[in-house]
Structure 1
Amino acid sequence: MIREVPFPSRDPSGELPMNIWVDDADSAIDVIDALALSPFATGVQPCSRLANLERVRPDAPLRPAEGRLLRIAQVEDGTESRLICGEGWTLRVVRHRNRTATVSVTAVSEELATSVLKESIDGAEEPVPDTDHIDMGFWWRGAHGGTRSQKPITAQPWDEIGRNYPGRARPALDRLMAVKPAEVSGRLILLHGPPGTGKTTLLRALAKQWHDWCQVDCVLDPERLFNDPGYLMEVAVGYDTDDETQRWRLLVLEDCDELISAGAKAQAGQGLSRLLNLTDGLLGQGRDVLVAITTNEDLTRLHPAVVRPGRCLAQVEIGPLTRDEAVAWLGSTQGVSPSGATLAELYALRAGREIPPSGADDSTGLYL
């Protein structure tokens, strides 16, 4: 059955008429979404504000002290949606099991929308732990363009995890960790080596080390980034914070073997050209943007344009620890091969797990 659902407080003087049609395919949450949109679409409440929250306190009301609950809907996955209205405003709150929430307000004025949103979300989030955490942005391409979400991630200081990396790589990594804005001489950071050697852990430590002057954003879909000029422009322009001083940004692209391999031009079309344009071409001019790429490829198999002198701020091979380094790290020779061990293998040995035989499928990465 299909029927029209009128909004409870529809004002006939609204500039745009709106009918809400629902059928059996729609859920109760879909109805709340439509009802929340109605006063904005009709022009009754022409001002809108929205906030995405992380780590929401379980006891946070996410609503002003005044207001009337119109609708509430819950689904099995733990999502809950509420529709609340007050004098001149409408509030929609969607809470998820993972403790994130979306709070949107429509109101008759910008001031009222802002004040209702502020009262609803004030103190709703738990503070980010100071120890071993850092804020990192995550970009992905959604239905309406690029979307960025900021989340706290664990990140240990470099001086605590430096021993996880082979001695031959540590001098270059020490220099990278110590870089300051005035010392940036190239826009590309290239970390290459076998899976399980700690490249991702290293980037988290770099985000912590550079926190005072650089915001780190991870692009979850780099294959789409360089195939979609509009998405690339959104990410390149960036997400400006309220900080008075504009920080540098580091874009992290993990496992981009096809993008920077010797045959990248033929395999990925314009992707390689756009990457190079972002690092030192016209696109990168005027924006303090660095790009960090991790790859499992050997340096000799990378495109020469990527590794040419002057393009890379750092170009470091992250290999396994030697046998002596691995034994010192583990405190035992048990399970350590004569050729040494990767960081992932050492953690597996310390946890009492067997190491897969050499040549086993490692396409999933063994990432740390």
Structure 2
Amino acid sequence: MSVIKEVPFPAPDSPELPMNIWIDDADSAIDVIDALALSPFATGVQPWSRLASLERVRPDATLTPASGRVVRTASVEDGSESRLICGDGWTLRVIRHRNRTATVSVTAVSEELASSVLKETTKDAEEPEPETDHVEMGFWWRGTHGGTRSDKPITAQQWAEISGNYPERARGALDALMAVKPSDVNGRLILLHGPPGTGKTTLLRSLAQQWRDWCQVDCVLDPERLFNDPGYLMEVAVGYDTDEDRRRWRLLVLEDCDELISSSAKAQTGQGLSRLLNLTDGLLGQGRDVLVAITTNEDLERLHPAVVRPGRCLAQVEVGALTRDEAVKWLGSAEGVGPSGATLAELYAIRQGRAVGPVAHDESTGLYL
């Protein structure tokens, strides 16, 4: 059986349009609510429409304006519910799902009325977004046709959760680095140096988490090519903003760049070192809010003096092994801890029951922790 609702054809000078609705046995009550909600907009009686999708809707949120009158309700066994609510000059359709998401659509006789009804309906309806241990990081590499960038979610713990993994002598400087805001930036280079296995990469992931509100973090997978290819360098330096509404700072992460910043870097890499310095405080870095973070296994005295000169570094931190007392406290036992302490990688190995010998560093791969 079918039912046809016919709307009379409007006068030639009327803004309203005709609309027919066909309803048969295959349609549900929710389909009827959808048609009734769409009708005022389709005919032109209420030509303004606003829609919002909600997540984590509070169980006690009514999603109903104070002046609204519920005229239709349809529920489904899976927990979904659809409601049609009417008011003076507006129509509201609310669909709630079992997973606590909802879709709210409003039609009204004016743009202002549609916006105000939607605002009242959705005000304080969502619970705050829960804390997450993931953060978006960009990854750059040089492809056949130029620079390529890809976003990936990475696991990143809050600094307060992992600060005990680092020696006390470095913790003050790291606390200050994690707390940096855009107004605090004085120097564009972040230098983390120390033996392999001390947690430098973990620090950078935590930094991406701490700075996520104001800084976009990008890891360059081929830094040796970056500073030997001016075109690629310009692509990465200019970059792009993932947030269209506001421009953020960017942090370029270059891991294990010993050859680029060593005392003999100028002879080994040609213009690479000069271009790095130009990116941090030269003409190339002007007009773009870019920071550069470099990790290296070299000792400070073996780095090029131009890299570590005063004023160039926002932070320059030696990330070393934990002392014996710190390592014993971290591990909860003195078993396996030598008199000189242990690196973070060694402590995890001891905890997992693996024998620990001298930490070997493979120059081709690094040791990421």
What is the alpha-carbon distance in structure 2 between the residues aligned to residue 222 and residue 174 of structure 1?
27
Residues 218, 253 of structure 1: 8 Å contact kept:
yes
Kindly indicate whether residue 264 of structure 2 is the aligned counterpart of residue 258 of structure 1: no
What is the alpha-carbon distance in structure 2 between the residues aligned to residue 140 and residue 292 of structure 1?
17
- CA deviations over 1:106-145 (Å, ceiling 9, x no partner): xxxxxxxxxxxxxxxxxxxxxx995210000000000010
Shift of 1:239: 1.8
- Matched residue, 1:230: 231
AA aligned to 2:168 is G
Shift of 1:367: 1.8
Kindly indicate whether residue 136 of structure 2 is the aligned counterpart of residue 135 of structure 1: yes
Runs of 4+ that moved beyond 6 A: none
- Matched residue, 2:280: 279
What is the alpha-carbon distance in structure 1 between the residues aligned to residue 339 and residue 366 of structure 2?
22
- Matched residue, 2:170: 169
Kindly indicate whether residue 249 of structure 2 is the aligned counterpart of residue 248 of structure 1: yes
Normalised to the residue count of structure 1, the TM-score between the two structures is 0.64
What is the alpha-carbon distance in structure 1 between the residues aligned to residue 133 and residue 333 of structure 2?
28
What is the alpha-carbon distance in structure 1 between the residues aligned to residue 245 and residue 170 of structure 2?
36
Query: Unaligned 5+ residue runs, structure 2?
Result: 1-128
Shift of 1:245: 1.3
What is the alpha-carbon distance in structure 2 between the residues aligned to residue 197 and residue 240 of structure 1?
32
**What root-mean-square deviation, in Å, do the aligned CA atoms of Structure 1 and Structure 2 show?**
1.4
- CA deviations over 1:167-194 (Å, ceiling 9, x no partner): 0000000000000000100000000000
- Matched residue, 1:301: 302
- Matched residue, 1:208: 209
- Given the superposition, is the C-alpha separation of residues 274 and 129 from structure 1 closer, same or farther in structure 2, using an over 3 Å criterion? farther
What is the alpha-carbon distance in structure 1 between the residues aligned to residue 245 and residue 220 of structure 2?
25
- Written as runs of structure 1 = structure 2, the 5 A alignment for 1:1-368 is 131-356=132-357, 358=358, 360-363=360-363, 364-368=365-369
Residues 256, 366 of structure 2: 8 Å contact kept:
no
Query: Unaligned 5+ residue runs, structure 1?
Result: 1-127
Identity in percent: 82
The number of equivalent residue pairs is: 240
| Partner SS, residue 329 of structure 2 | helix
What is the alpha-carbon distance in structure 2 between the residues aligned to residue 278 and residue 181 of structure 1?
18
- Given the superposition, is the C-alpha separation of residues 262 and 208 from structure 1 closer, same or farther in structure 2, using an over 3 Å criterion? same
| Partner SS, residue 333 of structure 2 | coil
Residues 189, 291 of structure 1: 8 Å contact kept:
yes
- Given the superposition, is the C-alpha separation of residues 130 and 159 from structure 1 closer, same or farther in structure 2, using an over 3 Å criterion? closer
What is the alpha-carbon distance in structure 2 between the residues aligned to residue 132 and residue 318 of structure 1?
23
What is the alpha-carbon distance in structure 1 between the residues aligned to residue 361 and residue 247 of structure 2?
44
What is the alpha-carbon distance in structure 1 between the residues aligned to residue 245 and residue 253 of structure 2?
24
- CA deviations over 1:54-94 (Å, ceiling 9, x no partner): xxxxxxxxxxxxxxxxxxxxxxxxxxxxxxxxxxxxxxxxx
- Given the superposition, is the C-alpha separation of residues 169 and 152 from structure 1 closer, same or farther in structure 2, using an over 3 Å criterion? same
Shift of 1:360: 4.3
- CA deviations over 1:277-318 (Å, ceiling 9, x no partner): 000000000000000000000000000000000000000000
- Given the superposition, is the C-alpha separation of residues 281 and 141 from structure 1 closer, same or farther in structure 2, using an over 3 Å criterion? same
What is the alpha-carbon distance in structure 2 between the residues aligned to residue 142 and residue 366 of structure 1?
25
Residues 215, 248 of structure 2: 8 Å contact kept:
yes
What is the alpha-carbon distance in structure 1 between the residues aligned to residue 272 and residue 305 of structure 2?
15
AA aligned to 2:185 is V
Residue range with higher mean Cα deviation, 233-242 or 154-163: 233-242
Normalised to the residue count of structure 2, the TM-score between the two structures is 0.64
- Matched residue, 1:54: none
What is the alpha-carbon distance in structure 2 between the residues aligned to residue 242 and residue 248 of structure 1?
11
- Matched residue, 1:82: none
- Given the superposition, is the C-alpha separation of residues 350 and 295 from structure 1 closer, same or farther in structure 2, using an over 3 Å criterion? same
